[in-house]
Amino acid sequence: MSGFEAKKETSAVLLDLSKAFDIVPHNVLIKKLQSYYSKGKELLLMETYLTDRYQFVKISEEKSDVLRVLSGVPQGSVLGPFLFVIFVNDLPAFIPDKCILYADDKTLLTSSANSETNCIVKNYMVERSKLWFCVNQLSVNSSKTEEIVFS
């Protein structure tokens, strides 16, 4: 039975990450990959895929400077979404209540016997999320963050 069905105060906080796929730091992602793949061939393949990438822009005959890419998962690739999922996979363990992940959207759910307790728990979950985002060098897009209270 869900908190809402049990007539508890239930809240959802919908968090949107700013440019999430673009700013995933490669060094942090590689450390997370190491925790899943130890030091096998898979890890070496992923490290090679992510490191020493460069980009430039060309318009007609004009070309920008070549820049090294230190963050972001390759978009438009089959591995991009998979790498992002691995990157955020440890977020739910950091949150004391329920956390739903879908792409770069995160939803925090909490239910409590009364609105005061629910507000305290919800605020704690949001602060824990912000800490996780900070540690992992991501940021929440506050203008797209929403709260829903179910009653």
Q: Give how many domains the chain has, as a whole number.
A: 1
Query: What CATH number did the domain enclosing 78 receive?
Result: 3.30.70
Task: Give the pLDDT of residue 100.
Answer: 87
Per the structure, the complete domain to which residue 40 belongs is given by 9-150
Residue 43 DSSP SS3: helix
**Looking at the domain assignment, is residue 2 inside a domain?**
no
Closest C-alpha among 148, 123, 147, 136 to residue 18: 136
**Looking at the domain assignment, is residue 3 inside a domain?**
no
What is the rounded CA–CA span in Å between residue 48 and residue 36? 16
Closest C-alpha among 89, 125, 113 to residue 12: 125
Cα–Cα distances (Å) from 53 to 3, 28, 74, 76, in that order, read: 47, 16, 10, 15
**Looking at the domain assignment, is residue 1 inside a domain?**
no
Distance of CA 93 to the CA centre of its chain: 13
- Within 8 A by CB and 6+ apart from 20, the residues are 84, 103, 104, 138
**Looking at the domain assignment, is residue 45 inside a domain?**
yes
**Looking at the domain assignment, is residue 4 inside a domain?**
no
Cα–Cα distances (Å) from 45 to 3, 31, 50, 51, 105, in that order, read: 44, 14, 9, 10, 28
- pLDDT per residue, tens digit, the chain (151 aa), is 476 677 788 899 999 888 888 999 999 999 999 888 767 888 888 888 888 889 999 999 999 999 999 999 988 889 898 899 999 999 988 887 788 888 788 899 988 888 899 899 999 999 999 999 999 999 888 888 899 988 7
**Looking at the domain assignment, is residue 121 inside a domain?**
yes
